[in-house]
Structure 1
Amino acid sequence: MSLIAICASLYAVIGYLTYLGIFAPAIGVVRFWPAVFLPAVFSIVFGPLVGAAGAAIGIFISDMIIHGNALLSLTVGVPANFIGFYLVGEIYRKSGSERKILAMTVLELSVAFIVAALFYSYGLLPMDLLIASLIALVATLVPALFFKGDDRRIVFAGSTGLMVGSAIIGIGVWAFSQFFLLPTGDRNLPFWAAFAWFIWTYVTEVPFIALLAPPTIRVIRKAVVTRG
């Protein structure tokens, strides 16, 4: 229980301090969230339930501070974080060969960029965000290519869990808007907004998992071994 509390506290506090007031362009609601690597670390090191519960509680706390809509948080943010980070821990423990892991990671990143490119082609995504998406995905691909063994598994697990969580957020926020006002004051947004939230969440967060989770996990494990 104490580990869940630590995870939730770190996620909420560091998330709030680092989101910089940045939200998804044009449609808002979903914010920039570098702290995403923290529950991924807890899920991998201490178990899926620890990371998932810590993420769910932490995101609820931060939601209450930032937009104050408890219903939106409980129906979208909380389940998306719980499921996504639970999967991170489970996938890490059950992932297969390195070749398969690398292939799946490349596939996930490719799908994300294709979706972003399609949105750009239809005028739903500005060029600067498309370029930012490409940079973010490359920043994730490079570690996936050069990391070996456990670090590569961490990147794959983090990417996959985040992709699922991002999809839940995208569809969930869109569905919420069909019945209730969003914190932005908008309602009944078109379905393409779900894809926009999905791609924004995934491409702005996955580099932080890929770049920060592996070294953080190594430090924690080394500290535990040294202490033991």
Structure 2
Amino acid sequence: MRTLDVAATALNAALYAVTGYIIYVFLPITTPGIGIVRFWPNVVIPAVFTVLFGPLVGGFGAAVGIFISDVLIHGDPLLSLSAGVTSNFLGFYLIGYVSKKNMDWTKLVAVSSIGCLVISLSSLLTVSYVALPQVVENRLMSQLDFDKLMEGINPVVNGLNLFTAIIVAVFIITMLIGHLWVEMRNYVIGSIIGLGLGSAIIGLVVWAYSQVFILPSVVGGGFQLPLYATVLWFIWTFATEIPFLVLIGPPIIKVCEQAFPSLKTRKE
């Protein structure tokens, strides 16, 4: 990495950490029902850096920034290293990597359309053939036991419905941006891929961590949480962060490239 890259990485990390901490202080919102994963709209910061300065700057800056903010907020460095650092590095590295690639937009549209349809149908089938039969088959149990059953089913059903709606909305927005803003096509696709991977890592690793260690109480706590928590964390992370990446990222990147033309040259 060159001197400029090192400086950009440090700035990326500092902005990411500071804004994340400030956001949590004023908006201490976490995953509904199970906590832990925070509302994190400042993902747009490393996304901009990874496009302008390259995948390593975006990935390393995000990894360092999330570690600092995690330690300041919940004080569990091991949880941050296992879930936060890995997901942020890989996610933002992918965004930067895909943004630099020449991709066939027609094929991407076709694949995205199929993927959107598959996700929507999968969500519908899950609700129809997994959740609903549970409700019907167990309706004769005591009211207390039935209420406990519903406490486990409702978050998953609501989460799947929200995720499906978000996926459809993101698909529509992606198509619009790709049509109206050709140079941002790869960035939007990269954001979906990178955030999808990062969200999956967070969901799986935090759940696995909870099987061995107690999660930080300051952000919700918990121990040996059920497997469906993985789905909720994935949905929450993706659904609450993708709008900021695809709606706010492109105009900021465009303004930066216009203000500093050399950044656009570096990207190409």
User: What TM-score, normalized by structure 1, do the two folds share?
Assistant: 0.88
Identify the residue that residue 226 of structure 2 maps to in structure 1. 190
- Does structure 1 residue 159 correspond to structure 2 residue 192? yes
Q: Is the 8 A contact 2:46 2:58 kept in 1?
A: yes
Cα distance in 2 for residues equivalent to 1:159 and 1:46: 19
Q: Which has the larger radius of gyration?
A: 2
Query: Which is bigger in relative contact order (C-alpha 8 A, separation at least 6)?
Result: 2
Cα distance in 2 for residues equivalent to 1:91 and 1:125: 33
Aligned mate of 1:221, from 257, 264, 267: 257
- Does structure 1 residue 141 correspond to structure 2 residue 171? yes
Q: Is the 8 A contact 2:123 2:161 kept in 1?
A: no
Report how far residue 154 of structure 1 moved: 1.1
The number of residues matched between the two structures is 228
Aligned mate of 1:180, from 209, 213, 220: 213
Q: Which is further off, 134-143 or 75-84? A: 134-143
Aligned mate of 1:206, from 242, 245, 261: 242
- Does structure 1 residue 45 correspond to structure 2 residue 78? no
Aligned mate of 2:7, from 2, 27, 43: 2
- Does structure 1 residue 11 correspond to structure 2 residue 44? no
Task: Tell me the amino acid that sits aligned with residue 193 of structure 1.
Answer: A
The 1:124/1:130 distance shift into structure 2, 3 A limit, reads: same
| Correspondence list, 1:1-150, <5 A | 1-19=6-24, 20-106=27-113, 122=131, 123-125=153-155, 132-133=162-163, 136-148=166-178, 149-150=182-183
Q: Is the 8 A contact 2:99 2:187 kept in 1?
A: yes
Identity level (%): 44
Report how far residue 137 of structure 1 moved: 3.6
Question: Gaps spanning 5+ residues in structure 1: where?
Answer: none
Cα distance in 2 for residues equivalent to 1:112 and 1:17: 35
Q: C-alpha deviations, 1:32-53, integer Å up to 9, x for none?
A: 1111121111111110000000
Q: Which is further off, 156-165 or 142-151? A: 142-151
Question: Gaps spanning 5+ residues in structure 2: where?
Answer: 1-5, 132-152
The 1:75/1:226 distance shift into structure 2, 3 A limit, reads: closer
- Tell me the secondary structure at the aligned position of residue 236 of structure 2: helix
The 1:88/1:27 distance shift into structure 2, 3 A limit, reads: same
Cα distance in 1 for residues equivalent to 2:115 and 2:91: 15
Task: Tell me the amino acid that sits aligned with residue 225 of structure 2.
Answer: L
Report how far residue 208 of structure 1 moved: 0.8
Cα RMSD (Å): 2.6
